[in-house]
Chains A and B, each alone.
Chain A
Amino acid sequence: MDGLPTCQAINLSLPAELFPSGWQTALARAPRIVLKPLPVQNPPPATINVPLRQPAIRTFGFTFPELPAADLGVLDTQPKRPSQRAAVEEKSNNAKRTTRIKPPQDIIKLQDRLYYVLQPPLEALTGELRFPFQPFPYQLEGIAFLFPRHAAILADEMGLGKTMQAITAIRLLLHARELRRVLLICPKPLVTNWKREFQLWAPEIPVGVIEGNQARRNWQWQQPATPVLLANYELLVRDYQIAVNEGLHFDLVLLDEAQRIKNRHSATSQVTRSIRRTRSWALTGTPVENSPEDLVGIFEFLSPGHLSSNMKARRMGLAARDYILRRRKEEVLTDLPPKMFRDAELDLTPEQWISYREAEEHGVVRLTQMGDELTIQHVFELVLRLKQICNFDPAEGSSSKLERLRADLEEVIASGQKAIVFSQWVDSLKRIRTALQPLPVLEYHGKIPARKRDQVIDQFRDDPSCHLMLMSYGAGSVGLNLQFCRYVFLFDRWWNPAVEDQAINRAHRIGASGPVTVTRMMTINTIEEHIDQVLQEKRELFETIFSVAGTPASAGLNQDEIFGLFNLRMPPRKPRSAA
Chain B
Amino acid sequence: MPSTRKPNSVPSVGFLTVVDSGGGSFLGGYLVLNASGRPLEFQCTAPVKANRAQEILYGPTLHPYLWGEQIGGALISKSRTRPLFVCTDQSHTLAVRAAVDLPVIQVLPAAKPSGGAPPKHNITATSSAEPAERLTLGRYSCALSGSHLTDRATVERAWKTHLDDLHLREPFERIREAITEAQRTAAGPASGAAA
Contact = CB atoms under 8 A, between A and B. Distances in A.
A112 B2 CA distance: 8
Contact of A52 (B35, B36, B53): B53
B74 A59 contact: yes
A241 interface: no
Contact of A60 (B9, B31, B36, B44): B44
Given A62-B2, A113-B185, A119 B39 contact: yes
B113 A94 contact: yes
A98 B75 CA distance: 28
B182 A54 contact: no
A61 interface: yes
A536 to B, nearest CB: 36
A92 interface: yes
A443 to B, nearest CB: 51
Contacts of A112: 1-2
Contact of B174 (A108, A111, A117, A178): A117
Interface stretch (A64-72, A394-402, A564-572): A64-72
B81 A63 contact: yes
Interface in B145-171: 165, 167, 169-170
A66 B34 contact: yes
Contacts of B100: none
Contact of B192 (A69, A94, A105, A178): A105
Contacts of A92: 167, 169-170
Interface in A82-136: 85, 89, 92-94, 98, 100, 103, 105, 108, 110-115, 117-121, 124, 128
A64 B170 contact: no
A50 B52 CA distance: 10
B71 A118 contact: no
B63 to A, nearest CB: 13
A119 to B, nearest CB: 7
Contacts of B101: none
B177 interface: yes
Contacts, number: 139
A63 B170 contact: no
A100 B177 contact: yes
Given A50-B57, A67-B34, A105-B193, A61 B139 contact: no
Nearest to A70: B36
Contacts of A54: 70
A15 interface: no
A55 interface: yes
A318 B189 CA distance: 16
Interface residues of B, number: 57
Contacts of B189: 108
Interface residues of A, number: 43
B137 interface: no
Interface in A31-59: 50-52, 54-55, 57-59
Contacts of A119: 38-39, 174
Given A65-B3, A118-B42, A55 B49 contact: yes
Contacts of A59: 28, 43-46, 74-75, 78
B57 A52 contact: yes
B125 interface: no
B174 A115 contact: no
Nearest to A105: B193
A120 B37 contact: yes
Given A119-B38, A120-B170, A63 B80 contact: yes
A217 B78 CA distance: 53
A128 B36 contact: yes
Given A59-B44, A66-B34, A120-B174, 17 more contacts: A50-B57, A51-B53, A52-B53, A60-B46, A61-B79, A62-B2, A62-B42, A63-B81, A64-B39, A64-B40, A66-B10, A110-B185, A111-B2, A113-B181, A114-B182, A121-B170, A124-B37
4 tightest CB-CB pairs across the interface, nearest first? A61-B43, A118-B39, A65-B3, A57-B74
7 contacts: A52-B53, A59-B46, A61-B41, A64-B39, A64-B42, A108-B189, A120-B170
Interface of A: 50-52, 54-55, 57-69, 80, 85, 89, 92-94, 98, 100, 103, 105, 108, 110-115, 117-121, 124, 128, 178
